[in-house]
Amino acid sequence: QWVTQNADAHGQAKRNGPLLWCVILGFTVYLIALLRLVTVQYTSSILVMLGFLSEEKFDELIRTPLSPVIHAVYDWLMAERGGHSPNSYTYRVYEDMTLQFMIWLGTCVLCFTALWAFTTTCKCCRRWLSFPNEMK
């Protein structure tokens, strides 16, 4: 009902149509980002490619502190599998994939938190602010 905006729409569905479209848009962007994550081979961080961080700053702030943890997990996985095989990834590839996934996951959490804050603010504004009938 909220898609067609017809006269049968009532209650929350009629009032929250724009917010529902925001959620659909957010989910679509999430799916696009997920597809990009699994289809594009990164040589650098998306934060570096977009110009938010320089390569040196990214290495200093993110890669260097997380490198020992990622290396320990990599060594543990290699020990569990019995060493390298012809299909094994090198450590650098594993580190890049892990960092990209962590950045993607953090970005998704940040975006959905922003969407939640926006929708909550809109709900509060509707509840506490009263507009004249001409502006509704």
What's the CA gap between 46 and 72, in Å, rounded?
Answer: 24
How would you write the pLDDT of the chain (136 residues) with one tens digit per residue? 445 555 455 555 566 667 777 778 888 888 887 887 778 776 667 777 788 888 888 888 888 888 899 889 888 888 887 777 776 677 888 888 888 888 888 877 887 888 888 888 877 877 776 655 555 4
Report the predicted TM-score, pTM, of the whole model to 2 decimal places: 0.60
Q: At how many degrees (to 10) do helices 91-128 and 64-81 cross?
A: 120
> Are the beta carbons of 50 and 44 closer than 8 angstroms?
no
Q: What is the pLDDT of residue 132?
A: 58
Q: What is the pLDDT of residue 87?
A: 67
In degrees, rounded to 5, the angle at the alpha carbon of residue 72 between the alpha carbons of residues 68 and 74 is 115
Return the structure tokens found at 41. 């081979």
What's the CA gap between 124 and 11, in Å, rounded?
Answer: 16
